[in-house]
Amino acid sequence: MTETNIDAAAAALWQHWRERRRMLALPDQARPSTRAEGYAIQERLAAIAAQPVVGWKIAATSPAGQAHIKVDGPLAGRLLAKRVLENGAAISLDGNLMRVAEAEFAFMVGRDLPKRDTPYTRDEVMAAVSALHLAIEVPDSRYEDFTVVGAPQLIADDACASWFILGREVTASWRDVDLSQHTVAGYKNGVVASTGIGANVLGDPRLAMAWMANEMRQFGAGLRAGQFVTTGTCLVPVPIAPGDTVRMDFGVFGTVEASLT
């Protein structure tokens, strides 16, 4: 893709995001055909938004999620500063098509994991993690049917990023816990709506964290200290509507919640 086409794709996506509008697909001349082109558009989108990238998200971390949007693997997205809220915040669903809430483990990056030629190991990546946080993602897309546009266009669309709740740092000891078997329950209006375990996230949230480090060493500039990585939903996303409250219960690690307007 030319720089002009990358600019055009990013500008169109950002305009639809701001105006809460949807498109069938990006115009032919501005439509990415590879993951690398999708990430180039996503990077330009963040630049147009003029907001710091404070974190990263992983979409499609389960076989069911990948089948739903017809992709063959996970997708990475940037989380912009003005779209990340504190625990208990109110999230507007105005214009939101997906209308689901997801429960996620988020790791804080304690030291840089820069771009390089050789893959990072899980242990190497986790040694660079400084903290664990609990999180809720409320995703959305700028496409009318995000299940048919394919991975490059979904990546360009920031991997369906929208709103994000970053909960407080987990104070309980977590490094020696098998996060793959850790149970998470999602409550809507005080009633259990969904349950799951960490293994629903690429087999283990720590493996998802390593995947992100390796995705960004190939297609980006790496991960920076002070950013966080949210690793994907541990449970079947909870359907939400204005007026609902959601609370994600991670047991001994604590809870994180949000209200929807």
The closest alpha carbon to 46, from 124, 156, 146, 129, belongs to 156
Q: CB–CB of 229/133 below 8 Å?
A: no
Q: Rounded to an integer, what distance in angstroms lies between the CA atom of residue 147 and that of residue 144?
A: 9
Tens-place pLDDT, residues 115-158: 999 999 999 999 999 999 999 999 999 999 999 999 999 999 99
pLDDT of residue 59: 97
The pLDDT value given to residue 114: 97
Every domain of the chain and the residues it spans: 52-260
Written as one string, the DSSP assignment of 37-97 is HHHHHHHHHHHHHT--EEEEEEE--SHHHHHHHT-SS-EEEEEEGGGEEETT-EE--TT-S
- Tokens for 90, please give them: 């109110």
pLDDT on residue 204: 98
Query: pLDDT value at position 166?
Result: 98
State pTM to two decimals: 0.97
Cα–Cα distance measured from residue 230 to residue 136, given in angstroms and rounded to the nearest whole number:
9
Q: Quote the Cα angle for 155-135-84, to 5°.
A: 65
Q: List the chain residues with pLDDT less than 70.
A: none
What pLDDT score does 64 carry? 86
Predicted pLDDT of residue 137: 98
CATH T-level assignment (fold) for domain 52-260? Fumarylacetoacetate hydrolase; domain 2 (3.90.850)
**Rounded CA gap, 254 and 106, in Å?**
13
